[in-house]
Structure 1
């Protein structure tokens, strides 16, 4: 699994600045800033297929929207695109700087390498401002909307067995995605894409979704995205590209976002989801639940039942427990691995806190914590939900400069529970997770910065330095290229020539 986040970017007092050029500047300055993290390694677009649809067809390039042609961006001189030594990708996506965290195998690892991205982005903004001393500093925000009609994404990716019928996956995951925002919504001032209606809602992204299923990501946004671009063995795997989540600053919300989704996907893969929770109007239900932070709204199921969002989440929780009991042969809270037990325990605790109105909900759930802060301003100054000062508080919540963001300040005071440590994050800024192929990718960039010409999720392009052709090392299996499998190999060969010779011996072309 992994998370990729587009950051909001602005220069105070400069509303007409070109966001693409600005985003490119901060990425380029970071890459050239002497951090020892990127050197000249660029992104390798070979093998990308953004127009393949999981429903069994491809969209014609002639008919595709330009935003979908992501494999052509390499020719745009404004689009900086580099690979970091922690295995991540730092680049310009449309009009935003984006940090795509490396692949990991647990929700805890997602938290660590996602927060490493916050450090990277804050430093990129700082160095992007440093050579313009007479200009206001560049500011970045870990959010998903500017409050004026624009939305940008935080996307999740999950490795799913291709043998799982895609139609079943869509049918059974859709109601979960509709209700999941209750656990991991980031909260937002204003209702409607343009914040045209005063109020507060659970999700920052819900109002921007217009379809149940589809290939698009920047328009006609679907609840379930159908891009079939596995970045792995296509015959074995599917990458479920999830575009409906919010950028999270609450670590408990972030943990539950990916942890519960992973468990629900395992349930669906198993074929043990025995209850049909299909909704009559998923898009309408998504918005109705988001617009009701009191959590009383019910939505209609195709079988005629009406359930609240909390009830939908309880149904999924019960089915996950039943699946794990069958899989493990007993109580999952006793027999499951530590990561699974943590997600199950927190899933139940958060739902219980929300059901009972317990104060702990504000320490765990981001939209609840943000609402509490906003209600404090409203009570103190007598503000209505249409007061623009509340929009400023909402924006300040996600400010990426250390010491300025409200969410991180609350965390420092213990009002948002923290699960990671500074030491973990500092290491993750420079080092890749050891449990996936990201480790091999990151270590190649670290150890052989002048030889790694380009890299992607599924390959590394190396230059032997002898003037001969470049050598592509394939990494199609996400659970190979780990530290355990490749550290000794890299240690044996401090030179690229020796590394390539062993890797390609006997016709092999990857670690």
Structure 2
């Protein structure tokens, strides 16, 4: 069997679905999600005649099923770049929400649009945060997914978003480490909504299908704290890279992953026993400790040319946080990562307010409101943003990186070509059609360039297509 290619420089992206609500000043419901989403996307539809578009920073912005706004980042090839573009998606939607609130006022409706970067609403409906990682064509996704299953079901210990869960399937109401844990039902499947697997195997690489596959991970939570997102993505990058390099990983084969993921979510000590296929048991914490130790050893010999993907130094930051999080869980000294890991930040916050309010009801509406407010992306209303400004949540990147990502596509991947094409088309008013792989000038004579290499940031064909667009504009064809 052919040895998989090692992608030190790996194309990756994040798709985030957002909850939406429209309320008055005292919290009363003003519009339903469908109506609120129509106001939110009104400027997009007016401009593009569609609610599914690519914008000049090369990301995809669209309205998903169930009135969920969604942003899919442009193709990124290193960790900090992806974090910046992920947060830039929040910024793009926040700008739309401000415009929507102005439109509501003009229509005589005093209301606020709330956009929530979470995974479950107040009545139990779930929506996702999907991670995408490029792998070689020779990789069998089902086999890869099965090898990753123990890692994925226990990964919530290091990067869960935390939530207050209602009574569900025999579990009492109370705090859960992960928001998605109760809503996935299979390990590996080609479905996304019907079966809700942890890894989706649908063969849709958005690239040369003779060379690449796309690993689509749909079990992760939407995370607010930058260090949590960095740990979520960075630990997965290390796992994929180690497997491609033939690095020996702990041989965990879980018997019933969809059951265990729910058990783990309700145990902040990580001591939940996980049954292996050979009937032995290992705790969730021990599984994560074993993977973290393997990653630490691997990084000691990782040598990557400068500029090739995520630097080793940044991945060392990931592993340091990974180790510290596991130490905090084992010692039950959660304050060690109380400014870094979303579920820990939220758990400690909720405990403080339980004591302040003297409540023992896990479904106290005040606590539920705190849980939701943590995830609001509005800088002035969102609780995570407030904590971040006060230095109570650490940063991984800075505001300048986010601002640059809001305006510009990644410069090191195919997204750069899409961004340049869209930006010039917007400046000239040229009619174009774009998807992940294709750039098309619609008229007067349709011309299209197909981009099958996601690593390619320079292409003479795209330069020529933009020149043609500019020539048509000079002839006055787009007036």
- Secondary structure of 1:158's partner? strand
1:165 to 131, 140, 143: 140
Equivalent in the alignment of 1:245: 220
Question: Structure 1 residue 227: deviation in Å?
Answer: 1.7
Question: Structure 1 residue 288: deviation in Å?
Answer: 0.6
Q: Are 1:406 and 2:377 an aligned pair?
A: no
2:154 to 176, 179, 182: 179
2:77 to 105, 108, 112: 105
Equivalent in the alignment of 1:378: 354
- Secondary structure of 2:204's partner? coil
Distance of aligned partners of 1:138 and 1:194 in 2 relative to their CA distance in 1, 3 Å threshold: farther
Distance of aligned partners of 1:444 and 1:196 in 2 relative to their CA distance in 1, 3 Å threshold: same
Equivalent in the alignment of 2:104: 132
Q: Are 1:440 and 2:412 an aligned pair?
A: no
Equivalent in the alignment of 2:126: 151
TM-score, scaled to structure 2:
0.86
Q: Are 1:211 and 2:191 an aligned pair?
A: no
Q: Are 1:25 and 2:25 an aligned pair?
A: no
Question: Structure 1 residue 195: deviation in Å?
Answer: 11
Distance of aligned partners of 1:117 and 1:498 in 2 relative to their CA distance in 1, 3 Å threshold: closer
For residues 286-305 of structure 1, the aligned pairs below 5 Å read 286-305=261-280
How many equivalent pairs are there?
Answer: 445
Distance of aligned partners of 1:298 and 1:194 in 2 relative to their CA distance in 1, 3 Å threshold: closer
Distance of aligned partners of 1:258 and 1:97 in 2 relative to their CA distance in 1, 3 Å threshold: same
Equivalent in the alignment of 1:7: 18
Gaps of 5+ in 1: 33-38, 43-78, 330-334, 501-511
Equivalent in the alignment of 2:255: 280
Question: Structure 1 residue 179: deviation in Å?
Answer: 0.6
Distance of aligned partners of 1:458 and 1:30 in 2 relative to their CA distance in 1, 3 Å threshold: same
Q: Are 1:473 and 2:452 an aligned pair?
A: no
Separation in 2, partners of 1:426, 1:110: 13
TM-score, scaled to structure 1:
0.81
CA contact (8 A) 1:185 1:203 kept: yes
Separation in 2, partners of 1:164, 1:270: 13
Q: Are 1:309 and 2:268 an aligned pair?
A: no
Equivalent in the alignment of 1:341: 316
CA contact (8 A) 1:142 1:247 kept: yes
Question: Structure 1 residue 152: deviation in Å?
Answer: 0.6
Separation in 2, partners of 1:216, 1:17: 32
Q: Are 1:83 and 2:54 an aligned pair?
A: yes
Distance of aligned partners of 1:20 and 1:471 in 2 relative to their CA distance in 1, 3 Å threshold: farther
Equivalent in the alignment of 1:46: none
Question: Structure 1 residue 6: deviation in Å?
Answer: 0.7
1:118 to 84, 90, 107: 90
- Give the CA RMSD over aligned residues: 2.6
Gaps of 5+ in 2: 1-11, 305-309, 473-479
CA contact (8 A) 1:214 1:225 kept: yes
